[in-house]
Chain A
Amino acid sequence: MDVTSSAFKDNAARALGDAQLQRALGNVEHGFVVKRRKAADALPEFDQLRDEAREIKAHTLAHLDLYIEAFTDKVEALGGQVHFAETAYDARRAVVDICRLHDAKTVTKAKSMVSEEIELNRYLQKKGIRPVETDLGEYILQIRNEAPSHIIAPAIHLNRDQVEADFRRVHKHLPADRDLTEPATLLGEARAILREKFLSADVGITGANFLVAETGSAIVVTNEGNADLSQTLPRVHIVVTSIEKLVPTLDDASTLLRVLARSATGQDMSVYTTLSSGPRREGDPDGPDEFHVVLVDNGRSSMLGTDFQDMLRCIRCGACMNHCPVYHAVGGHAYGWVYPGPMGAVLTPSLVGVDQAGHLPNASTFCGRCESVCPVRIPLPKLMRHWREDEFARHLQPRAARTGLGVWAFFARRPRAYRLMTGVAARSLSLLAGARGRLSRLPLAGGWTRHRDLPAPAPHTFMAQWKTRDGQ
């Protein structure tokens, strides 16, 4: 998808004025937060599991080359193939090449953010292959021709009535007078339509939550079972995923699974947790004839060994955005690419460049709520600050902000000059406000006074008053 992160301010303004969106975002603000809290409180060792989860991912990243090699060997021993894709283009090509070998016309897809990142659907369509999204949220977005706005709840920006209108618009073969007022009836309709697609697909594509080096398995979790149908019914299963999904052992994956769903939706476990290890073996009742893993790098390996290596611990639970007051205000589309919220504010500049995504790490109050719920304890505010440092060093921030900061820093480093300046400011602003105690308009402070009053300073600063009292 096109990157519109540089238009973040406009995107955000539009989002703030969108009544439908604001109504939908209310569900994130309270639903997910309460559910995660309950799940975490119900498990006494939850915080200890978060430490273990962090260590597992940190260890894997420190030895990622070895684990990728071990995983690849295992997959091949099981009769599968691993395709290493350095760029998004390489990844798209690898998928299309496999599809062509099998003369595929239709592929079913389970939800995969990496496939969004590499723009897989657009490319498949260009090559005459029809992708069908089978996650309910992704299916809705596909018929609306929209991008996901959340990494685990892609259609969270929509309300039920919007989905009903889309289904009536697209499912023309169904009776016009059918009742679609309940979410369950919408689900039932999508299920019936998708069932046919599952049975007729030539290739099934899924993502992976974890890749287990020890066993060569790809693990995917869903609540709808659509990944299972996508990977077991077609002749060919392609896992499209990225290199940081590696974990050493099944035990490690179990630890991570224990924090994943709790952090994401507040469930103890997702409804379906599916391991696929190679193609169908003799005697297996089902499974694909071929098993491929397209292992996408797309900029991740260049994060290794830098401050941003910590970001690769992310297990894509979405807790950071579920708890982010900025995300609650503007939703996911405002962030302008695949990954929204705090994790996107760190990852997007890494993958598309901070020159394009510079707003994202700046649009945070550093309230720290994201870090406080992150299951793998990624220091998200600190990493956003590192991006700001990078932007500052490269003069990427707006000139006015830089000049203002420079003037302020000049005085802050010179206490005597600072005293003189603040003394003058206090007196004049206090005079300007008079007895009202506040200023409703002030030159150069429009960012503040457009929406709120500025409390007036005291006529004399604390330091001036203190000196008078103390000086005696």
Chain B
Amino acid sequence: MTEPEDDDAPTVALFVTCLVDLFRPVVGFATIRLLERAGCRVVVPEVQTCCGQPAYNSGDRADTAAIAQQVIAAFEDYDYVVVPSGSCGGMISRHYPELFAHDPDWHGRAEALAAKTHELVSFLVDVRGMTGVEARFAGRVTYHDSCSGLRELSIKAQPRTLLASVDGLELTELEDAEVCCGFGGTFCVKYPDISNAMVTRKAEAVGRSGADTLLAGDLGCLMNMAGKLSRSGSPVAVRHVAEVLAGMADEPAIAAASDAAKPARKG
């Protein structure tokens, strides 16, 4: 990693999220590249697993609090915490303080961490003042606004601002872009039929958009939509927005086959 020369560079702790860690490591590396380009020094605290959302949304407050305390302790000493996910970012910045509302020992620490925790793209634009990126991506792209990022963190214009600066990229808006894709964490396996009805509508809208690539800022939603598009035989490629913004969209798209598995092309 090439560290910025600037001694005033803020130190950003990357909270990579459990899904990026396991399913899409390239998003973590893309995030680091973008943060460095935004003049930050990046560290990756080793004590990180998950933000605790699966427990929180299942009503298990004790486990949620234990996981949250672990995150707070591991991340509170840095200038910023950046998360390539609106959902996990919202968990830390909106829900941790609520979780410890009646715990005088932890509430202040949760509030302090919440205040410096940001979703990646909104951090780049709103905090670091980035107005464009140096990246090239030839393709017609559409964007799904993931619910937590949109409604908890007001992320709407920021990704579009940065995508507009990508050389060769044409953005076409998705019909009902603000409607949930049906992922919902454990919802998609607890109520698979309803989740399927929702993601089917989303996949149909993606098809109507005419885009060849679907982007979003949350891996849960992306895996859900990519899984559905793949199952229904759609050729649309699905990627995390950070991959495109960082110029790292060269590995196979989410749920797509690697070159070795593709039928050999003529010529």
Contact = CB atoms under 8 A, between A and B. Distances in A.
Interface of A: 9, 12-13, 16, 325-326, 329-330, 362-369, 371-372, 382, 385, 387-393, 397, 401, 405, 408-409, 411-413, 415, 418, 422, 425-426, 434-438, 440, 445-448, 450-458, 460-463, 465-467, 469-470
Contacts of A366: 57, 147-148, 184-185, 187
Contact of A457 (B23, B61, B185): B23
Q: Which residue, B24, B191, B231, has most C-beta atoms of chain A within 10 A?
A: B191
Given A438-B227, A455-B226, A455-B227, A462 B258 contact: no
Contacts of A371: 151
Interface in B140-197: 147-148, 151-152, 178-180, 182-197
Contacts of B21: 422, 461-463
Contact of B228 (A12, A405, A451): A451
Interface in B190-220: 190-199
Interface of B: 1, 16, 18, 20-29, 44, 46-50, 52, 54-61, 63, 66-67, 70, 98, 147-148, 151-152, 178-180, 182-199, 223-224, 226-228, 230-231, 252, 254-258, 260-261
B108 to A, nearest CB: 22
A390 B48 contact: no
B223 A455 contact: yes
A448 B70 contact: no
A460 B258 CA distance: 16
B25 A458 contact: yes
Contacts of B186: 401
A414 B212 CA distance: 41
B148 A437 contact: no
Contacts of B70: 413, 415
Q: Which residue, A329, A393, A397, A401, has most C-beta atoms of chain B within 10 A?
A: A329
Nearest to A451: B196
Contacts of B67: 409, 412-413
A425 B254 contact: no
B59 A391 contact: yes
B interface: dominant SS: helix
Contacts of A467: 46
Contact of B195 (A369, A451, A456): A451
Contact of A372 (B49, B151, B231, B258): B151
B137 to A, nearest CB: 20
A392 B192 CA distance: 21
Contact of B224 (A330, A389, A452): A452
A456 B54 CA distance: 20
B180 A367 contact: yes
Contact of B58 (A369, A388, A448): A388
Q: Which residue, B49, B186, B198, B258, has most C-beta atoms of chain A within 10 A?
A: B49
A401 B223 CA distance: 21
A465 B228 CA distance: 28
Contact of A422 (B22, B224, B252, B258): B22
Contact of A438 (B46, B198, B255): B255
B190 A368 contact: no
A461 B25 CA distance: 6
A142 B255 CA distance: 50
A-B complex: 9 closest residue pairs judged by Cβ atoms: A365-B184, A447-B189, A452-B227, A388-B59, A435-B261, A392-B59, A367-B180, A462-B25, A451-B196
Nearest to B225: A452
Contact of B199 (A451, A455, A457): A451
B60 A460 contact: no
